[in-house]
Amino acid sequence: MRIAVFAGDGIGPEVTAQAVRVLQALDLPGLELVEGDVGGAAYRKHGHPLPPETLAIARSSEAILFGAVGDFTLDHLERALRPEQAVLGLRKELGLFANLRPARVFAGLEDLSTLRPDVAGRIDLLIVRELNGDVYFGEKGMRTLDDGRRQGWDMMSYAEDEVRRIAHAGFKAAQGRARDGQPGKLCSVDKANVLETSQLWRDVMIEVAKDYPEVALTHMYVDNAAMQLVKDPGAFDVIVTGNLFGDILSDQASMCVGSIGLLASASLAEGSFGLYEPIHGSAPDIAGQGIANPMATILSAAMLLRHSFGLEEQAARIEAAVAGALADGVKGGDLGGSAGTQEIGDAIVARL
């Protein structure tokens, strides 16, 4: 079991250290953890946020556990050298096109949500975010127009094969979530009333739906989806959406559950390889204080065991340990508690 560990910047190393402790506590046979530099930390050491050494470690591993990248003291660098390029580069280089971001309220923990408990109690949704295309990876630039005004531009585009493969990922996820005899539901979120990119997205979703007759497909504009997500998040099952909309909606979904410090993610290629990371960033405002919530990263390690290694039982053990710690009142500052990063790690390891 060769796992690359890329801790990154800010709270990245703090939260990743706790997830590593959790993996080590499980006595996994043949576990080998290989550390690599990413983000601002890698730029300072190697002059690049995603140095070739790191990419080589990634390629020779079966999965990546990723912390976070981002360092505002490096925001003046040309874009290709900024810390964020590490995660964007890994996603693109390794073909990690399907980003699964589950948002679920653990039973009895609906009071963590900033929403009313009766609204939050039913939340069990999965955002399937496309990760290799959209305005993120289109041509972009900054230029000065003839009249002297500066103009920044970013090209938003999707090719139909890019939409088709994430559509299949969304439908398969919905298929796998049939409950109590009820088939899973898929809500495709776009802005087809304005954007051509979204019109193609919607057309392709409808085409692919023919392969999954048991999954009910609906469409929603992203502005309405943002509203429905706080009005009645329990109504959603699987949401499939593009790179930018998925980024925004998943941060919002995290607060429906209780905190961005709780939301894990898996970024998957075809096959079993994946990168697993919390959805949050390097949180420079709290970095170095030992107060970041490591639960999102620990839950990402659970996703890693499940998706890349088929270790469902160990994944479920981690999730139960996190839910158990929360139920016993082990909460970080993000959840109105006072437990520190290490203390939360201790509590989870103890419950394993």
Residue positions annotated with a catalytic role: 136, 191, 223, 247, 251
CB nearer to ligand IPM: give 215 or 268.
268
With both helix axes pointing from N to C terminus, report the angle between 12-25 and 341-351 in degrees, rounded to the nearest 10: 20
Which residues in the 223-252 window bind Mn ion by CB under 5 A? 247
Closer residue to ligand NAD, CB minimum distance, 162 or 334: 334
> Is 278 annotated in some ligand binding site?
no
Using CB under 6 A, pick the residue from 9, 14, 237, 247 that binds ligand IPM: 247
Judged by CB under 6 A, the chain residues 275 through 294 that form the site for ligand IPM are 279, 281
Residue from the set 54, 267, 282, 314 that interacts with ligand NAD by CB under 6 A: 282
Look-up: residue for tokens 């890698």? Answer: 42
Looking at 81-89, 149-157, 177-185, 226-234, which segment touches ligand IPM (CB under 6 A)? 81-89
One of 334, 340, 347, 348 touching ligand NAD (CB under 6 A): 334
Which one of the spans 28-36, 80-88, 116-124, 166-174 is the region binding ligand IPM (CB under 6 A)?
80-88
Burial 303-322 (b: 16+ CB within 10 A, else e): bbbbbbbebeebbebbbebb
Binding residue (CB under 6 A) for ligand NAD from 19, 64, 69, 339 = 69
Rule CB under 6 A: say whether 87 interacts with ligand IPM: yes
Examine residue 321 and tell whether it contacts ligand NAD (CB under 6 A). Answer: no
Q: Is 113 annotated as a binding residue?
A: no
Confirm or reject binding of residue 260 to ligand NAD (CB under 6 A).
yes
Residue 328 carries which DSSP code?
T
Helix extents (H) in the chain: 12-25, 39-46, 52-59, 85-93, 117-120, 160-175, 196-209, 222-231, 243-257, 295-309, 312-327, 341-351
SS3 content of the chain, % helix, strand, coil (to 5): 45, 20, 35
Report helix angle 12-25 to 295-309, nearest 10. 50
The residue of the chain with the least Cβ separation from Mn ion equals 247
Q: In this structure, which amino acid lies at residue 181?
A: G
Q: In terms of Cα–Cα distance, which of 173, 186, 167 is closest to 237?
A: 186
**Which residues make beta-bridge pairs with 68?**
8
Indicate the residue among 112 and 279 with the shorter CB distance to ligand IPM.
279
Residue 127: CB minimum distance to ligand NAD, A: 14
284 is in an annotated binding site: yes
277 binds ligand NAD, rule: CB under 6 A: yes
Per-residue tokens: 324 = 């158990």
Query: What size, in residues, is the chain?
Result: 352
Among the residue ranges 42-50, 161-169, 219-227, 275-283, the one whose residues contact ligand NAD (CB under 6 A): 275-283
Nearest distance, CB of residue 190 and Mn ion, angstroms: 19
Size of the site for ligand IPM (CB under 6 A): 7
Roughly how many angstroms between the first and final C-alpha of the chain, as a whole number? Answer: 20
The correct pick among 293, 300, 308, 314 for binding ligand NAD (CB under 6 A) is 293
Binding to ligand NAD, residues 6-65 (CB under 6 A): 11, 15
Is residue 341 within 8 A of residue 291, CB to CB? The reply is yes
Smallest gap from Cβ 66 to ligand NAD, in A, equals 7
The correct pick among 64, 88, 94, 339 for binding ligand IPM (CB under 6 A) is 88
What single DSSP character describes residue 264? E
84 binds Mn ion (CB under 5 A): no
Burial class of 181 by CB neighbour count within 10 A (0 to 12, 13 to 18, 19+): exposed
Q: Which of 49, 170, 281, 340 binds ligand NAD (CB under 6 A)?
A: 281
Location of structure tokens 């939340």: 123
Identity (one letter) of the amino acid at 41? A
Determine whether the annotation assigns residue 134 to a binding site: no
CA 202: distance to chain centroid? Answer: 23
10 Å Cβ neighbour count for 110? Answer: 19
Interface with ligand NAD by CB under 6 A: which residues? 11, 15, 68-70, 72, 84, 87, 260-261, 277, 280-286, 292-293, 296, 332, 334
